[in-house]
Structure 1
Amino acid sequence: MRQNLTDILTTSPLLITDGAAGTHLESMGCDLNDELWTAKVLKDSPELIKQLHRDYFQAGADFGVTVSYQATIEGYVNKGLSAAEAEDLIKASATLLLEARDEWWQEQGKAEQRRYPIAAASIGPYGAFLADGSEYRGDYQLSTQQLRQFHQQRIELLWHQGVDLIAAETIPRLDEALVIAEIVQELGAKCWITFSAKNASQISNGQEIAECIRALEAFDGVVAVGVNCTPPQFIGGLIEQIKAQTAKPIVVYGNLGNSYDPDTKTWCEHDSHGATHYLDYAKQWHALGAKIIGGCCGTTPTEIKQIFSTIE
Structure 2
Amino acid sequence: ATIPGFLSRGLSIEQGELLLKKSVKLAVEARNSFWDALKVTPDHRYNRALVAASIGSYGAYLADGSEYSGCYGPRVDVDKLKDFHRRRLQVLVEAGPDLLAFETIPNKLEAQACVELLEEQNVQIPSWICFSSVDGENAPSGEGFKECLEAVSVLQLTSKAIIVYPNSGEIWDGKAKRWLPAKCFDDENFECFATIWRDSGAKLIGGCCRTTPSTVQAISKVLKGQSQ
- TM-score, normalised to structure 1, is 0.66
Aligned-residue CA RMSD in angstroms? 1.7
The one-letter code sitting in structure 2 at the alignment partner of 1:178 is: Q
Alignment partner for residue 91 of structure 1, among 13, 21, 29?
A: 21
The one-letter code sitting in structure 1 at the alignment partner of 2:108 is: L
Shift of 1:157: 0.7
Say how many residue pairs are matched: 218
| Equivalent residue number for residue 138 of structure 1 | 70
Shift of 1:263: 4.6
Structure 1 stretches of 4+ with a deviation exceeding 6 A read none
Shift of 1:272: 3.2
Partner of 1:295: helix, strand, or coil?
Answer: coil
| Equivalent residue number for residue 209 of structure 1 | 145
Question: With CA pairs under 8 Å and 6+ residues apart, which has the higher RCO, 1 or 2?
Answer: 1
1:78 paired with 2:8, answer yes
Percent of aligned positions with the same letter in both sequences? 38
| Equivalent residue number for residue 119 of structure 2 | 185
Partner of 1:218: helix, strand, or coil?
Answer: helix
1:15-61 deviation per Cα after TM superposition (whole angstroms, max 9, x unaligned): xxxxxxxxxxxxxxxxxxxxxxxxxxxxxxxxxxxxxxxxxxxxxxx
| Equivalent residue number for residue 100 of structure 2 | 166
The one-letter code sitting in structure 2 at the alignment partner of 1:290 is: A
Partner of 1:157: helix, strand, or coil?
Answer: helix
Between 1:110-119 and 1:145-154, the stretch displaced more is: 110-119
| Equivalent residue number for residue 118 of structure 1 | 50
| Equivalent residue number for residue 302 of structure 1 | 214
- TM-score, normalised to structure 2, is 0.89
The one-letter code sitting in structure 2 at the alignment partner of 1:257 is: G
The one-letter code sitting in structure 2 at the alignment partner of 1:285 is: W
Unaligned runs of 5+ in 1: 1-70, 224-245
Distance in 2, matches of 1:87 and 1:148, equals 17
Unaligned runs of 5+ in 2: none
1:279-305 deviation per Cα after TM superposition (whole angstroms, max 9, x unaligned): 101111001110000001231111211
Instruction: Label 1:85 to 1:213 Cα distance change in 2 as closer, same or farther (>3 A).
Output: same
